[in-house]
Amino acid sequence: MDPTGVSGARSNGGGATREATGLESLHLGDEFRQDNVGGGFTALLELPPTQAVKLLHFADSPSSSSQAATVTGIVPPLHHSYETLTFPSNSALLMERAARFSGETTTSSVPSTSSVKTEPADETNSSQAAVNNRSGKRKDSDKKTEILKKKKNKSSEENEKLPYVHVRARRGQATDSHSLAERARREKINARMKLLQELVPGCDKIQGTALVLDEIINHVQSLQRQVEMLSMRLASVNPRIDFNLDTILGSENGSLMDGSFSGTAMQVVWPHQVIETEQSYHQRQLQQPQQWPFDVLNQRAWGREEDQVHGNDSANLHPNQVKMEL
């Protein structure tokens, strides 16, 4: 039952990520050309097409054309910055995406990975930009970007290990500190929105922030409702079962889930292990602290049961339960 569900969901996730290759997945219109005044999500609406927001690492990686080198170059700085994040579950996914993105052409931008990094050095970048602004009264921000590029290029190797976000200004965009910070923040939000889109099924086809958020809200609500339904179902099952069952299942599954979790292999292996665990219950190396009370409690519970049928049932429960894959 469940193995198909889980593997199906996994393949969906994989397919979705393959679809969202470029950064056009959010496809937010270019129609609103205004300065964003610090609104949170609304910044997303003004995201111009993702043409040239290159981040420093990947801008310099063309020198090393091999993709493996870029991946290994990315990985150490990512490790650094992730320690500052209090979001452990995301790091694996982002590293995976970094690997995938670096495999693409170097012109494609990859803000997702480095946008996760903290941005304390936006000040340094912006101070550089401010200096440029003051020194040369050039209207063409393109030239400003070149200067910034050169300066960044020089200090690129030193900065690789620092958790800095280097954002190159696009042509026609202001390069003062505020908009740089805003832009970096926008990139962060976009990157995370993309992850959310991949996580929530059916979200990658939707265009527009508001609808995506809608879907996310619906998904979260449905998950919460499912939890309630499941707990209701569990409670309405024979009460002796739902408290005993967990002990049985838990101790068995604790040991059985140590192995590989592939679907087909499991179903072959489980029948053997079922028999083994029933007999060698005590000998099994379980890491749970409640291991030994289980035996006592189970025996007491089963002794307490007046229902003969139920006693038989609990013996027969083992093969059935164990065949269920978690």
- Please name the residues in contact with 160: beta carbons below 8 A apart, sequence gap of 6 or more: 57, 73, 77
Q: How far apart, in Å, do the first and last CA atoms of the chain sit? A: 10
Least distance (Å) between residue 152 CB and another protein: 24
CA 32/CA 42 separation, integer angstroms? 11
Least distance (Å) between residue 142 CB and another protein: 25
Which C-beta is closer to another protein: that of 146 or that of 258? Answer: 258
Least distance (Å) between residue 48 CB and another protein: 14
Which C-beta is closer to another protein: that of 64 or that of 312? Answer: 312
Least distance (Å) between residue 135 CB and another protein: 33
Which C-beta is closer to another protein: that of 49 or that of 201? Answer: 201
Which C-beta is closer to another protein: that of 147 or that of 249? Answer: 249
SS3 39: coil
Tokens 């050095």 -> residue: 121
User: Residue 170 has what DSSP assignment?
Assistant: P
User: Residue 293 has what DSSP assignment?
Assistant: H
148 closest CA partner among 50, 49, 136: 136
SS3 167: strand
Which C-beta is closer to another protein: that of 86 or that of 105? Answer: 86
The secondary structure of 202-252, three-state, reads: CCCCCCCHHHHHHHHHHHHHHHHHHHHHHHHHHHHCCHHHHHHHHHHHHHH
Which C-beta is closer to another protein: that of 68 or that of 229? Answer: 229
SS3 content of the chain, % helix, strand, coil (to 5): 65, 0, 35
Least distance (Å) between residue 79 CB and another protein: 18
CA 263/CA 282 separation, integer angstroms? 27
Neighbours of 296 (CB within 10 A): 9
- Please name the residues in contact with 62: beta carbons below 8 A apart, sequence gap of 6 or more: 106
CA 211/CA 49 separation, integer angstroms? 19
> How is residue 3 written in tokens?
């193995």
Which C-beta is closer to another protein: that of 173 or that of 209? Answer: 209
Which C-beta is closer to another protein: that of 34 or that of 65? Answer: 34
Least distance (Å) between residue 137 CB and another protein: 30
Least distance (Å) between residue 127 CB and another protein: 23
Least distance (Å) between residue 282 CB and another protein: 19
